[in-house]
Every structure is written in structure tokens, then in C-alpha cells.
Amino acid sequence: MRSIVRLMVLALPFAAIPCVALAEPMTFDAALERAAREAPSLAASTAGVDATRSAAIAAGRLPDPTIDLGVQGFPVSGPTAGSFTRNDFTMTTIGLSQQFPNPAKRRAQRERAQADIGVAEAGVAIEAQNVRLETALAWVDLYYAKRRLAQLQVLDQSLGDLQATVAARLASGSARPSAALEPDQLRAAVGDRRSELTADVAKAQARLVRYTGDPQADVFGDPPSLEVDRARLMAGIFALPRLKALDAGVSAAEADTELARADKRPDWRVSTSYGRRDPAFGDLVSVGVSIDLPLFAKRRQDPKIAARASEAEQARLMRSAGERELVAALDGDLADHMMHHQRLMNARNTLVPLAKRRAELDMASYAAGKLDLGSALLSTLALAEAEVDALAREADVARDAIRINFTYGPITDEGVRP
């Protein structure tokens, strides 16, 4: 009966987590591959690129021709008012005109369209990087949350054995009656901790479901072992999606500047028309050319050119600032990674062994009647917390390695390991 109860206690945390028991496990690589296929935000960004490419086809093309239909010279007063045939002025006309923007303007429009494509493609790369990073972090968080929760079950087992010892000592009269309550108090404290870890599991699983689209997403296998090499990361920092996006912004701003400069060059229009009159007077044909005259450039085109040039300079400065920001962020993340690694080594080499040794000594003192049960139980709880904390520190190190490599490293064909 006691074994059955213990199995039920061990199953409770996992029963509280939706779909954990039925979840489909995924390796780290499989989760990334599924997220790349299923993430709606990535598909939306890709559709945006397709739209931009389609719009670029029309950039720099000649405008559609214009057809003109009209009546000219129709009398509204005098002896021939209202007549189409009693005067030699009235005629019906049909004409065709075509506008020809200057070549510099059309070239700038094409360059602007290509810059828009670059901006859209950079947006897809940034979103792909974000999806990979968030999926990887969700997978690692779920992996370590489940490990921490499982580690807490060990304390439940030891509490069951301790409860039997307390009962025996109460029966023999060697323990005070209030000692029977202390295991239950500790079990309640462990229950609170278990609730926190159960929530961590549920939240990490929800994030993994969000990016993979699998409603029963779960982890399988071990997390990747990623090395952090600053020299390699710095060598490829110029190819990062964020800087590519800033480069595309510079290209767009420069294209806008050229488009503004092109306004100082005249556009022109060619038109022709055919006028039909009364047969007694004969028909007419007209041909003409009209040319824009940008005569007031100092008040019209030049201010716009100066504004676009300032925006281009702003884009270049933002690109430079973005590069510095990335380098500073990388060094900051590397410092955090080193700190977390040192904390992990301290936990593994010092804190956990000391907590384990103290728990063993306190339980031995309790068995010998030299220490009260409450103190011994606190040492046991401290050991469990130390082991759970060590797993949390290990998770921090793994998260740092993933964040650094997935944020500052290139995306390879394998999709995982830079």
C-alpha cells in the first residue's frame, strides 16, 4: 500500500501539467526544424517578401498612356449656337499621350524597389533568428524544469522513509509527540516548491507549443553542447540579420536621396490627337511635346534633397551605432556566461557536496539522538534546494550558450550548431 501511495505522489506533479503524459517528445534539432516550418510569424514575413518582390516589377516602368476624348470649339452663343456643322471651329477629338519620366528618376525608383526587397528579406532573417532562438530556449527551459521537478521527488521518497522512522520512535517513546508533525510540515514546504516547478514546466511547454505548433510538444534527448568562441563570433558579426537590416535601410535612404535629386531633371510628355470636323472644312492632326521646367529648385527640389540626404546620413550613423551595440551586447552576454559558469562550478564542487555532507551528518546525529528532527529535516530540505539550484545554474549556462550562438552566430544548414 505504501508503494502505491508513493507512486501516486510522484505522479501528481505530472498530472497537473496538461498533456505532459501524452506529449510527443522532440529532440532539440527536431524542435528547431518544426518551428522553421510551422511558425506563422515566419510565414507572414516570407509573404511580405513575396509582396515586395511583386511590387518591384513595376518600379521604374513608364506610366500607362492616356487617351483623351473631347469636343473643341463648340458654339454656345451667336447664330451657330448649338450646331456641330454650321461653323468651321467645332471638332471632336481623340488623342493619345505618353509621359516619359527622366531616366535618373526611373533608375532611382528601381534602386528603391530593390532596397525595399532587401529590407523585407532582412526582416525575414531577423524573424527566423528570433524563432530559432525562442524555440531553443523554450526547449532547454522545459528540459531543465522537468529535471528540477524530478530532483524534488527524491526528497519525497526520503520523507516517506523518515515518516516510518518517526512513527517507530514515537511508539517507543523516544521522540516527543510534536515530532510527528515535522515531516508533514516539510512535505508541505516541498509541495509549495513543487507547485512552482510544475508551473515552470507548464510555461516552458506552452512556449514550445507556440513555436512548434505541436499541442503535445515535449522534450526528448539531451540539449546541445555549444562552444562559445568570441573570435569566431566577432568574425561573422557583419553578416548578422540585424546589421543586414540596417544595411538595407541605408540603401533605401540612399535611393530616396537619388530619387529626390532626379526631380531636378525635367520629365517630358509626348501627345498626339486627331480632330474631326465637318467634311467641308477638313480634319486636323496635332502633335506636341511638353517638358517640365524645374526653375525654382532652391525652394522646391533642393530642400527635399537636403532632407533625404540627412536621412541617409542618419541611416549610416544608425548602422554604425547598431554594430557597436551588437559588439557591446556580445561582450556583456559573454561576461554573464562566464559568471554563470563559475556559479555552476561552485555549486557542483562546493555547495552541493557541503549540503549533502551536512544532511548526512545531521541525520546521523538525529539517529543518535543528538539532534532534533526539525534541524535534521531542514538540512535535508537544504540539500534538495542545493541540488535543484545546481540544475538551475546548469540551465543558465545552457541558455547563455544558446542565446550567444543563436544571436551572434551564423545559421548553418544543420540549423543548430554554428
pLDDT tens-digit map of 383-401? 888 888 899 999 999 999 9
Q: What is the pLDDT of residue 413?
A: 37
Task: Give residues with Cβ within 8 angstroms of 309, minimum separation 6.
Answer: 257
The model's confidence at residue 379, banded by pLDDT at 50, 70 and 90, is confident
Which of 94-103, 358-367, 370-379 has the weakest average pLDDT?
370-379
Q: What is the pLDDT of residue 75?
A: 76
The model's confidence at residue 412, banded by pLDDT at 50, 70 and 90, is low
Q: What is the pLDDT of residue 373?
A: 65
The mean of the pLDDT values for the chain is 82
DSSP, collapsed to helix, strand or coil, labels residue 412 as coil
If you ran DSSP here, which 8-state letter would residue 351 be given? I
Q: What is the pLDDT of residue 30?
A: 92
Residue 366 has pLDDT above 80, yes or no: no
In tens, the pLDDT along 189-214 reads: 778 888 888 999 999 999 999 999 88
Q: Count Cβ atoms below 10 Å from residue 228 Cβ, excluding itself.
A: 20
Residue 382 has pLDDT above 50, yes or no: yes
Q: What is the pLDDT of residue 4?
A: 30
In tens, the pLDDT along 288-317 reads: 999 888 888 888 888 999 999 999 999 999
CB 223 within 8 A of CB 398: yes
Return d(Cα 109, Cα 118) in angstroms, integer.
14
Of 338, 342, 354, residue with least CA distance to 387: 354
Return d(Cα 177, Cα 169) in angstroms, integer.
10
Task: Give residues with Cβ within 8 angstroms of 223, minimum separation 6.
Answer: 28, 139, 140, 143, 398, 402
Tell me the whole-structure pTM to 2 decimals.
0.76
Task: Give residues with Cβ within 8 angstroms of 113, minimum separation 6.
Answer: 52, 55, 56, 59, 60
The model's confidence at residue 271, banded by pLDDT at 50, 70 and 90, is very high
CB 191 within 8 A of CB 155: no
Strand partners of residue 68: 95
Q: Count Cβ atoms below 10 Å from residue 70 Cβ, excluding itself.
A: 12
Overall size of the chain counted in residues: 418
Return d(Cα 283, Cα 277) in angstroms, integer.
5
If you ran DSSP here, which 8-state letter would residue 324 be given? H
The model's confidence at residue 25, banded by pLDDT at 50, 70 and 90, is confident
From start to end of 268-331, where are the E strands? Answer: 268-276, 284-291
Supply the Cα-derived Rg of the chain in whole angstroms: 38
Q: Going by DSSP bridges, is the β-strand pair 217-219/24-26 parallel, antiparallel, or unpaired? A: parallel
pLDDT above 90 covers what percent of the chain? 49
Q: What is the pLDDT of residue 227?
A: 86
Strand partners of residue 270: 98, 289
Max Cα-Cα span within the chain: 138
The model's confidence at residue 177, banded by pLDDT at 50, 70 and 90, is low
Q: What is the pLDDT of residue 22?
A: 41
Return d(Cα 140, Cα 143) in angstroms, integer.
5
Could you tell me the fold of the domain covering 2-61+111-263+298-408?
A: Outer membrane efflux proteins (OEP) (1.20.1600)
In tens, the pLDDT along 57-79 reads: 999 899 999 999 988 877 777 66
DSSP string, 115-183: HHHHHHHHHHHHHHHHHHHHHHHHHHHHHHHHHHHHHHHHHHHHHHHHHHHHHHHHHHT-S-GGGGGHH
Return d(Cα 399, Cα 408) in angstroms, integer.
14
Q: What is the pLDDT of residue 20?
A: 40
In tens, the pLDDT along 39-59 reads: 899 999 999 999 999 999 999
Q: What is the pLDDT of residue 159?
A: 63
Task: Give residues with Cβ within 8 angstroms of 205, minimum separation 6.
Answer: 17, 19, 20, 23, 142, 217, 218
Q: Which of residues 239 and 154 earns the better pLDDT score?
A: 239
Question: CA angle at residue 111 from 106 to 113, to 5 degrees?
Answer: 95
pLDDT above 70 covers what percent of the chain? 81
